[in-house]
Amino acid sequence: MTRTNIGKLIEIAMTDKNFTQKDLANKMGVKQQMISQWINGKSNPKTSTLTKLAKALNVSSDYFLGGNNTGVDNLSIDVIERIVLIETEIKKLKTEFYSLRKELKKK
């Protein structure tokens, strides 16, 4: 499983449980920055940590290893994936907007 996929799976399970990164970090006894790194694909949790992560999110260990959605509603996954795509598009549009605004101010 790639870093991005694990990060998305963590984010989907967190959203399904209404957990913030801080909530998950506290439940696992790790720093919030570690959760952020996993979600953003900057690092992967160690194999030994996956079991702890699965328990904290109330999903099966297979959820991270094979993408088994036990404990996470398939509809939630679809909605979250769409939200992630929309958020990405919004970021692109904001960047374009600020760039155009900057150009207009120069004129």
Q: Are residues 34 and 1 in the same domain?
A: yes
DSSP 18: T
Q: Give me the CATH number covering residue 20.
A: 1.10.260.40
Q: Are residues 67 and 77 in the same domain?
A: no
Q: 6-10: long-range contacts (C-beta < 8 A, 24 or more apart)? A: 6/38, 6/41, 6/44, 6/45, 6/64, 7/38, 7/39, 7/40, 7/41, 8/80, 8/81, 8/84, 9/63, 9/64, 9/67, 10/35, 10/38, 10/39, 10/53, 10/57, 10/64
Q: What is the amino acid identity at position 50?
A: L
What is the arithmetic mean of pLDDT over 59-87? 68
Q: Give the residue with greater pLDDT, 49 vs 80.
A: 49
Q: Are residues 61 and 87 in the same domain?
A: no
Q: Are residues 57 and 25 in the same domain?
A: yes
Q: Give yes or no for residue 2 having a pLDDT over 50.
A: no
Q: Are residues 58 and 86 in the same domain?
A: no
- Grade residue 94 by pLDDT with cuts at 50, 70 and 90: very high
Distance CA 1, CA 74 (A): 19
Which domain covers residue 8, as residue numbers? 1-72
Distance CA 89, CA 74 (A): 23
Q: Are residues 14 and 63 in the same domain?
A: yes
Q: Are residues 68 and 82 in the same domain?
A: no
Residue-level pLDDT at 95: 94
Give this prediction's pTM.
0.60
Q: Are residues 77 and 67 in the same domain?
A: no
Distance CA 48, CA 50 (A): 6
Residue-level pLDDT at 3: 45
Q: Are residues 77 and 27 in the same domain?
A: no
Q: How many domains does the chain have?
A: 2
Residue-level pLDDT at 26: 96
Q: Are residues 65 and 32 in the same domain?
A: yes
DSSP 55: H
Q: Are residues 78 and 39 in the same domain?
A: no
